């Protein structure tokens, strides 16, 4: 997993819960990296799972809620660092449909070793079905990114999540826009 995910996660923890808690979850975790990350580095995703688990325990907040919140936070980071991806799309559906065949292609040019989730999208009127696939099983992060995407483009939308298997590697999201 790319380091930007780790650095931004710890930034979110510092902003929302304070530097002391960010340091505490690093100390409580057994991290091969020692909790030192660079945005361009690559790290085992198990480290972020462990950090998330300790954050969940220390805040008495479900990990899925925290991961979704992190997705919303990460959207703003991407918006700041890569504004062209957002300004080239007319609406939230167009942006979400561009993830697999445009955005991920560009990401792989910058980070050829990135192991990105896969997104298949199909629009049906005021709804968009997106299938998320990743061995990392972090669909709640994707959900938060989707929510913030719809907010950014000014849509009032509901998002439903349905597991497409027991293990969480494949998830169907149905995003419906209120006309």
Q: What is the mean pLDDT of each run of 10 residues along the chain (179 residues)?
A: 94 98 97 93 94 98 98 95 89 94 87 89 95 95 97 96 91 94
**73 & 9 share domain:** no
**57 & 76 share domain:** no
Rounded to whole angstroms, the Cα distance separating 95 from 85 reads 8
**7 & 54 share domain:** yes
Whole-model pTM: value is: 0.93
Indicate which CATH number applies to the domain containing 149.
3.90.1520.10
Predicted confidence at residue 115, as pLDDT, reads 86
- In this structure, the strands spanning 118-124 and 127-133 are antiparallel
What length does the chain have? 179
Q: Bridge-partner residues for 170, per DSSP?
A: 133
**29 & 98 share domain:** no
**24 & 110 share domain:** no
Helix H or strand E segment including 133 = strand 127-133
Residue showing tokens 């300790």: 54
| Boundary residue ending a domain (39, 61, 83) | 61
Cβ atoms of 49 and 118 within 8 Å: the answer is no
Predicted confidence at residue 113, as pLDDT, reads 83
Domain that holds residue 41: 3-61
**78 & 125 share domain:** yes
**100 & 143 share domain:** yes
Cβ atoms of 77 and 2 within 8 Å: the answer is no
**For the chain, how many structural domains are there in total?**
2
């Amino acid at each position: 997993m790319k380091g930007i995910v780790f650095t931004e996660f710890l930034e979110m923890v510092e902003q929302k819960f304070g530097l002391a808690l960010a340091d505490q979850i690093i100390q409580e975790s057994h991290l091969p990296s020692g909790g030192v990350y660079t945005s361009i580095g690559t790290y085992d995703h198990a480290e972020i799972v462990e950090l998330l688990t300790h954050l969940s325990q220390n805040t008495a907040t479900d990990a899925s809620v925290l991961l979704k919140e992190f997705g919303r936070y990460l959207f703003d980071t991407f918006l700041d660092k890569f504004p062209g991806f957002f300004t080239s799309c007319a609406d939230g559906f167009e942006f979400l449909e561009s993830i697999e065949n445009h955005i991920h292609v560009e990401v792989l040019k910058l980070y050829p070793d990135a192991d990105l989730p896969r997104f298949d999208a199909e629009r049906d009127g005021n709804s968009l079905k997106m299938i998320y696939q990743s061995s990392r099983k972090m669909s709640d992060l994707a959900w938060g990114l989707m929510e913030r995407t719809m907010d950014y483009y000014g849509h009032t939308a509901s998002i439903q999540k349905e597991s497409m298997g027991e293990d969480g590697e494949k998830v169907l999201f149905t995003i419906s826009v209120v006309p």
